[in-house]
Chain A
Amino acid sequence: MIEVKNVTKTYGKKQNAFIALDNVSFTIPDGASVAILGKSGSGKSTLMHAMSGLDRPEKGEVVIDGEDILKLKTKQVDKFRASKIGFIFQSFFVQANETVSDNVSLPLEIADIPRGERKKKIQAALEGVDLSEKIGSKAKNLSGGQKQRLAVARAIVNSPQIIFADEPTGNLDSVTGDKVEKMLFGYNKKNGVTLIIVTHDPELAAKCDIQINIKDGKVESIRDTKPATKQHTRKVVS
């Protein structure tokens, strides 16, 4: 479960100060698919960075599994990200000169997974995104859709607890975008992984269990389309 409590993030100082996140609070149950929906510049990415321990807002708490990650030391936050978080970015950020296999291997190396266990995990992850036959190719020889599938494989390879996807289909055409979406939701349902998608696309957001609307750094509304999760959420909150 992820509890975001009164998170406030300000960029700049004094008269130049800009409040990117303004007292944001909500709760996400384990295994939910969540859309953080809002216009460009509304603070979605900033929120995602705060929730994943990449950024440290000056106020608030982000409690994951009972632990406020904003209070952890850098080393511990790094470990938390390496072991529990998967990331997918709009611009893929795959390493063009490396092979598909080496790209997927990176999170495993960072998390200190023994060499003997890696091969299996890499193969399983690539199978999950339908890229098995590309395992030895250089990433630069892949199409855009394949690159994003590779990024998905990299995000899931170490069996994370939470996957953050920042505009995962923003750079893809609708057909390839759909394929990537299906993979993400499929993985979310099958493995009970919490999926948090940052998007400005209401259509994509509608496919998620929970939609958190952000406007000017504030939570405008939260919609829970799945009563089961809603109940679960209520129970935990009360």
Chain B
Amino acid sequence: MRLTDTIKRAGRSLRNAKARTLLTSLAIGVGAFTITLSLAAGQGGRAYTDEIVTANTSVNELLVTKKQPEANSGPKKYEDTGVSAMAGSMSNPGAADIAYLTQDDIKAMEKLNNVTSVSPNYSPSVRYITREGQDRYVVESVSTFSPSVTLKYAAGSVDGNLANDEIILTEEYAKVLGFSNPSDAIGKTVEIRADKLSAPVSAPENKLFPFKVKAVSSKSGFAFRAQGSLLVSNDAARELYEYINKDTRAYGNFLLASVQVNDEKNATSVKDELSTKGFEAQTAEDVLGAINTFINVLQGILIGFGALAVLTSIFGIINTQYISVLERTQQIGLMKALGMRRRDVGRLFKFEAAWIGFLGGAIGSGMAVIAGLIANPLINSALKLEDVTLLQFNPIAVASVIIGLMIIAIAAGILPARKAAKLDPIEALRTE
């Protein structure tokens, strides 16, 4: 018997038992629905983190810290490292036991092969920002602008690097500093006050640093690293840092430095080399990998639920197909009497199972796609994500789900198919 004829006959038999076929397929459909949605969420999630990471890091950039002392190693003997508790205020006031990068470390890193530049993360703690005729506002953080980090601009834009007298404000600061809309701020001057920490309390020293507003950034679904920070050039950040910290004991110690390598390909080798020299380095890929591992675990759990649904549906298929064989004993007997081969009888029932798997897979995946198309805009507005598709349906993934379920269904149909193939036509056609 030809394959196409067998497949057609299998389809016809199923149509003759529509309700049963549909119910059996629906059980698989539940699994297909869950699995398809999980795959879509995983794909969307990974694409989302990928965008976040590329928006916040560059593939040529390594984030380097000093290798931290082992945790839980018990109380440590005090050693005068020359780093005062003040250093902690730079980024992590709670943890006293943090190892910092020193100027020597920075120099050592600069000497490594394939490293083009090393810039310590200055993040100077300035007092406030203001502008003529406006109130003063506390500055949470001043960071270094990096051209490799994608920003969303409410007004203005930066082409290449920021000049040393330029600043990027956030929308919120632009507003409180009295600009009626972000584009009003472009080209205007704002002032940042910095206090010299080493100056004696009796004779405080401070200075106003003027900056021209180059651009105003707006909140974005991706950029979190620079979010809320006022951004200045690396040199300007160093100038502020030096003015504030010079002659303190924390001076010249940094929690974090970013190391630029000449080529993405060399990022890992530089990372390894840094590691042997007592540093810890993270590439953009590491960051992405860590987040993706998390997403993959979540996705795995969801797929597990889907697999459970599929597992239960396997018993449904076996049961349905056994009933079908019993009901159609005479039909099978007739086909065998007319010379249909065992193999073809078995195939007929396996194809029926495959049809059930296909139907279930198509219904479940189809529903998942529809549900996803409806849910995507809702998720976006609920989580305030813009231009992000969190459920991404990949045609290959959907097709694989359907094909996979067909294969599972065929496997479930093997035992009933064997029973059908083994049927003795004389017994099957006995009427008395």
- Interface size, B (range): 20 to 34
A236 at the interface (CB under 8 A from B): no
Q: Which of B81-89, B115-123, B179-187, B331-339 contacts A (4 or more CB under 8 A)?
A: B331-339
Contact B425 A54 (CB under 8 A): yes
How near does chain B come to A113, taking the closest CB pair, in angstroms? 9
Known: A97-B16, A109-B5. Contact between A80 and B339, CB under 8 A?
Answer: yes
How near does chain B come to A28, taking the closest CB pair, in angstroms? 20
A63 to B178, CA, bound (A): 109
A195 to B411, CA, bound (A): 43
Contact B337 A110 (CB under 8 A): no
How near does chain B come to A81, taking the closest CB pair, in angstroms? 4
Known: A91-B431, A95-B331, A106-B335. Contact between A78 and B425, CB under 8 A?
Answer: no
Q: Which residues of chain A in 29-88 are interfacial with respect to chain B, using CB atoms and an 8 Å cutoff?
A: 49, 54-55, 74-75, 78-83, 85, 87
Known: A54-B426, A89-B429. Contact between A78 and B1, CB under 8 A?
Answer: no
How near does chain B come to A147, taking the closest CB pair, in angstroms? 13
B431 nearest CB neighbor, chain A only: A91
A2 at the interface (CB under 8 A from B): no
B287 at the interface (CB under 8 A from A): no
Interface residues as binary, B281-311 with A (CB distance below 8 Å gives 1, 0 otherwise): 0000000000000000000000000000000
Q: Which residues of B contact A87 (CB under 8 A)?
A: 337-338
Q: Which residues of A contact B9 (CB under 8 A)?
A: 109
How near does chain A come to B244, taking the closest CB pair, in angstroms? 88
Q: Which residues of A contact B112 (CB under 8 A)?
A: none
Contact A78 B16 (CB under 8 A): no
Interface residues as binary, B419-432 with A (CB distance below 8 Å gives 1, 0 otherwise): 00000011001010
A90 at the interface (CB under 8 A from B): yes
Chain B at the A interface: SS class: helix
Q: Which residues of chain A in 92-113 are interfacial with respect to chain B, using CB atoms and an 8 Å cutoff?
A: 93, 95, 97-98, 102, 106-107, 109-112
Contact A106 B338 (CB under 8 A): yes
Q: Which residues of B contact A90 (CB under 8 A)?
A: 431
Q: Which residues of A contact B12 (CB under 8 A)?
A: 97-98, 102
A110 to B425, CA, bound (A): 15
Q: Which residues of A contact B330 (CB under 8 A)?
A: 93
B2 at the interface (CB under 8 A from A): yes
Contact B338 A112 (CB under 8 A): no
Contact A111 B2 (CB under 8 A): no
A107 to B5, CA, bound (A): 12
Contact A111 B339 (CB under 8 A): yes
Q: Which residues of A contact B176 (CB under 8 A)?
A: none
How near does chain A come to B30, taking the closest CB pair, in angstroms? 29
Q: Which residues of chain B in 136-173 are interfacial with respect to chain A, using CB atoms and an 8 Å cutoff?
A: none
Contact A110 B431 (CB under 8 A): no
B212 at the interface (CB under 8 A from A): no
Q: Which residues of B contact A55 (CB under 8 A)?
A: 426
Q: Which residues of B contact A49 (CB under 8 A)?
A: 426
Contact A93 B429 (CB under 8 A): yes
Which residue, A54, A75, A80, A107, has most C-beta atoms of chain B within 10 A?
A54
Contact A82 B340 (CB under 8 A): yes
Q: Which residues of chain B in 328-362 are interfacial with respect to chain A, using CB atoms and an 8 Å cutoff?
A: 330-331, 333-342, 344
Contact A109 B337 (CB under 8 A): no
Interface residues as binary, B1-30 with A (CB distance below 8 Å gives 1, 0 otherwise): 110010001001000100000000000000
How near does chain A come to B56, taking the closest CB pair, in angstroms? 62
Q: Which residues of B contact A98 (CB under 8 A)?
A: 12
Q: Which residues of B contact A95 (CB under 8 A)?
A: 331, 334
A87 to B336, CA, bound (A): 12
Q: Which residues of A contact B1 (CB under 8 A)?
A: 109-110, 112
A78 to B336, CA, bound (A): 8
B330 nearest CB neighbor, chain A only: A93
Q: Which residues of B contact A80 (CB under 8 A)?
A: 339
A170 to B279, CA, bound (A): 96
Contact B339 A83 (CB under 8 A): yes
How near does chain A come to B7, taking the closest CB pair, in angstroms? 11
Known: A49-B426, A90-B431. Contact between A110 and B331, CB under 8 A?
Answer: no
Contact A75 B339 (CB under 8 A): no
Contact B431 A78 (CB under 8 A): no
A202 to B14, CA, bound (A): 44
Known: A95-B331, A112-B1. Contact between A81 and B339, CB under 8 A?
Answer: yes
How near does chain A come to B17, taking the closest CB pair, in angstroms? 9
Known: A93-B330, A97-B16, A98-B12. Contact between A78 and B426, CB under 8 A?
Answer: no
A109 to B9, CA, bound (A): 10
How near does chain B come to A106, taking the closest CB pair, in angstroms? 6
A74 nearest CB neighbor, chain B only: B342
How near does chain A come to B59, taking the closest CB pair, in angstroms? 58
Contact A82 B431 (CB under 8 A): no
Q: Which residues of A contact B425 (CB under 8 A)?
A: 54
Q: Which residues of B contact A (CB under 8 A)?
A: 1-2, 5, 9, 12, 16, 330-331, 333-342, 344, 425-426, 429, 431
User: What are some 13 contacts across the A-B interface (CB < 8 A)?
Assistant: A55-B426, A74-B342, A79-B339, A81-B338, A81-B339, A82-B340, A87-B337, A91-B431, A93-B331, A97-B12, A97-B16, A110-B335, A110-B344
Q: Which residues of A contact B (CB under 8 A)?
A: 49, 54-55, 74-75, 78-83, 85, 87, 89-91, 93, 95, 97-98, 102, 106-107, 109-112
Top 3 nearest A-B pairs (CB, nearest first) are A82-B339, A81-B339, A97-B16
Known: A49-B426, A87-B338, A112-B2. 4 other contacts (CB 8 A): A54-B425, A55-B426, A93-B429, A109-B1
